[in-house]
């Protein structure tokens, strides 16, 4: 075909295209999105780079996106993970995981599976314990308050040479074996208030603070001269028991003696001071409580002439 023929055909096609009304052409075009709908959209995370600069971000149907909220599983905070259906997927509890020792059949669970172990401190408060658990060998501080422990056995603290503080407040302890505490070389504080003790256990010479308030200890429950050799003892609290005399001799290191609410009726003139040494001054013993006992302290003036302060109690 001659060039003039091609030129004629092209003119005919262009004429047909421009013959379509402008109104119809606008319908064929994709409608532009109303930008006012997207003023509140957060697009700060959409970073333009050399790689995506030519991409077109089409948000024209943003409000028509499907809501998957009903299909998202709900998670309740504080609940346990669901148990796997396949038993083969369950972990073997006998294996050692995360440094936790493997339980030995026939023995109590390791302490740190029952309690909270933080450094050299073990916290077993209100854990439902009925006996002392197996403690880590480097334990220095044990807190096992508000449990149901009924007895302390000789081997409960065996080998714990670093143990400094034992707090067994508010248990049901009625029996303590002879060597349960005595062989602990570093024990400084023993707290046994609100138990059912009828006898005071033997103590190591390192003890500084003994608290056995609110038990059932009579004077017969104390060994003779129980505190004579405790040269570091500073705080002795035996209030709300069944004592009928003051346990003597008391070490010179003693600073606080609480014996209120017992059954003490009398005392010896050498209870606190040496009656043969009128120049004696016992400066450390500043806190003596004998209130709540049926004793008239004014009848024993020579018993506390060496003290910096008079005992608290009845003087009439």
CB 216 within 8 A of CB 203: no
Residue among 147, 149, 144 nearest 165 (CA): 144
CB 215 within 8 A of CB 242: no
Pairing of strands 151-152, 165-167: unpaired
Distance separating alpha carbons of residues 234 and 287, to the nearest angstrom: 11
Between the ranges 1-15, 57-71, 85-99, 279-293, where is the mean pLDDT highest? 279-293
CA dist 69 and 207 (Å) reads 63
Please name the residue that has the structure tokens 């003119």. 11
* Dist. CA 114–CA 100, nearest whole Å: 12
Q: How confident is the model at residue 254 (pLDDT cuts 50, 70, 90)?
A: very high
**Cα torsion 123, 127, 131, 136: sign:** negative
pLDDT per residue over 191-201, tens digit each?
999 999 999 99
Q: The tokens of 310 are what?
A: 């008079």
* pLDDT for the residue numbered 8: 53
Encode pLDDT of 207-252 as tens digits: 999 999 999 999 999 999 999 999 999 999 999 999 999 999 999 9
Of the given ranges (18-32, 154-168, 183-197, 280-294), which has the lowest mean pLDDT?
18-32
209 burial type by CB count under 10 A (0-12 exposed, 13-18 middle, 19+ buried): middle
- Copy the structure tokens of residue 278: 């009128």
Reported confidence tier of residue 10, pLDDT bands at 50, 70, 90: low
Percent of the chain topping pLDDT 90: 59
Residue 282: is its pLDDT beyond 60? yes
Q: What is the pLDDT of residues 70-90, one digit of tens each?
A: 433 343 333 333 444 444 443
pLDDT in the model for residue 101:
41
Mean pLDDT for the chain?
77
Helices (H), 83-122: 111-114
pLDDT digits 0-9 by tens, 28-38: 454 554 545 44
């Amino acid at each position: 075909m001659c060039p003039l023929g091609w030129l004629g055909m092209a003119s005919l096609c262009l004429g047909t295209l421009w013959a379509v009304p402008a109104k119809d052409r606008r319908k064929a075009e994709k409608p532009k999105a109303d930008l006012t709908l997207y003023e509140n959209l957060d697009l700060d995370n959409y970073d333009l780079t050399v790689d995506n600069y030519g991409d077109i971000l089409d948000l024209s149907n943003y409000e028509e996106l499907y809501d998957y909220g009903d299909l998202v599983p709900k998670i309740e905070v504080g609940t346990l993970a669901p148990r796997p259906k396949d038993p083969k997927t369950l972990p073997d509890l006998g294996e050692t995981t995360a440094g936790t020792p493997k339980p030995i059949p026939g023995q109590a669970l390791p302490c740190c599976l029952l309690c909270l172990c933080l450094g050299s401190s073990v916290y077993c408060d209100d854990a439902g314990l009925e006996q002392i658990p197996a403690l880590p060998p480097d334990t220095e501080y044990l807190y096992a308050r508000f449990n149901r422990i009924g007895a302390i056995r000789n081997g409960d603290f065996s080998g714990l040479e670093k143990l400094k503080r034992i707090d067994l407040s508010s248990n049901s302890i009625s029996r303590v074996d002879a060597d349960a505490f005595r062989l602990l070389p570093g024990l400084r504080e023993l707290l046994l208030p609100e138990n059912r003790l009828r006898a005071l256990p033997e103590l190591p010479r390192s003890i500084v603070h003994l608290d056995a308030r609110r038990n059932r200890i009579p004077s017969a429950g104390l060994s003779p001269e129980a505190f004579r050799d405790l040269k570091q003892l500073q705080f002795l609290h035996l209030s709300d028991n069944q004592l009928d005399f003051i346990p003597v001799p008391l070490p010179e290191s003693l600073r606080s003696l609480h014996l209120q609410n017992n059954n003490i009726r009398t005392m010896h003139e050498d209870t606190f001071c040496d009656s043969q040494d009128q120049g004696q001054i016992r400066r450390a013993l500043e806190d003596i409580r004998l209130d709540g006992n049926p004793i008239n302290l004014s009848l024993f003036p020579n018993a506390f002439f060496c003290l910096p302060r008079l005992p608290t109690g009845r003087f009439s």
